[in-house]
Amino acid sequence: MKHQIRLNVAAVLTAVAVAVIPAVSPVLAQTPTIFQALDLTVEQQDAIQDVLASRREQVASILTPEQRQQFLQAQQEGKNLRESARTIDNLTEDQESRLREVLQSTRQDIDNILTEEQETELRLLIQENRRDQS
């Protein structure tokens, strides 16, 4: 049943992937599902929520207000992280580099929170979701 759960790649990569996403977004709305699929403890859930909150602040500081709006609109349309990032006009090389760094550090922070078994399950969920989207 765990493998039947449809997860947005963005949600998986950042909640276990970036953005200036308000609490009502589809990505964060799926976070409890991810927590359940990975059987996270309350402490792990809290730690991941903290990582995601920090990430949202970092991304917000990188994008201009117009870019944040474009990204948000794409997220609300259900696009995953990569698709949403591609909708942003006029990203500078510096912004792209900084966003990549935020994503990498977010992933590392989340990996540090998860057990080896949870990391393995996460990778399987990501692979399954990618197959489903193809």
pLDDT tens, 95-112?
999 988 988 898 899 999
- Asked if residue 4 has pLDDT above 80, the reply is no
Give the mean pLDDT of 70-78.
Answer: 85
For 20-46, how does the pLDDT look when each residue is reduced to its tens digit (9 = 90+)? 333 333 444 455 677 778 888 989 989
| More confident: 104 or 133 | 104
- Asked if residue 68 has pLDDT above 80, the reply is yes
CA 3, CA 94: separation in Å to the nearest integer? 37
Residues for the chain: how many in total? 134
Q: How many other CB atoms sit within 10 Å of the CB of residue 33?
A: 15
CA atoms within 13 A on the CB side of 4: 1
Give the mean pLDDT of 109-133.
Answer: 85
Tokens of residue 40, six digits: 């996270």
Nearest to 29 by CA among 7, 55, 54: 7
Nearest to 73 by CA among 114, 2, 22: 22
Give the lowest-confidence range in 3-7, 49-53, 61-65, 104-108: 3-7
Q: What is the pTM of this model?
A: 0.68
